[in-house]
Amino acid sequence: MSLSEQWFTEIAENTGTAFSLKIHSKLHEEQTPYQKIEIYDTEQFGKLMVIDGCTMLSTRDNFLYHEMMSHPALFTHTKPSNVVIIGGGDCGTLQAVLQHSEVEQAWQIDIDERVTRLSEQYFPELCTANNDSRAQLLFADGIQWMKDADSNSIDVIIVDSTDPVGPAAGLFTQAFYRDCASALRADGIIVQQSESPLLHMDIIKPMHTSMRKAGFRHTRTLNFPQCIYPSGWWSCTMASKENTLEQIRADDITQRDFASKYYNEEIHRAAMALPEFMKAQLD
- Show the DSSP H helices in the chain as ranges: 62-76, 92-97, 113-122, 142-148, 174-183, 201-213, 250-254, 265-271, 276-282
Per-residue pLDDT tens over the stretch 242-269? 999 999 999 999 999 999 999 999 999 9
Instruction: Give pLDDT, residue 169.
Output: 86
Residue 272: pLDDT over 90: yes
Classify residue 90 by its DSSP letter: T
Catalytic option among 160, 187, 202, 283: 160
β-sheet with 7-12: strand ranges across: 7-12, 17-31, 36-42, 47-51, 54-58
Active site residue 160: yes
Residue 3: pLDDT over 50: no
Per-residue pLDDT tens over the stretch 137-178? 999 999 999 999 999 999 999 999 988 877 778 899 999 999
What is the SS3 assignment for 8? strand
- What domains, with CATH codes, occur in the chain? 3-58 (2.30.140.10), 62-282 (3.40.50.150)
Per-residue pLDDT tens over the stretch 202-236? 999 999 999 999 999 999 999 999 999 999 999 99
pLDDT over 90, % of the chain: 93
| pTM for the full predicted model | 0.96
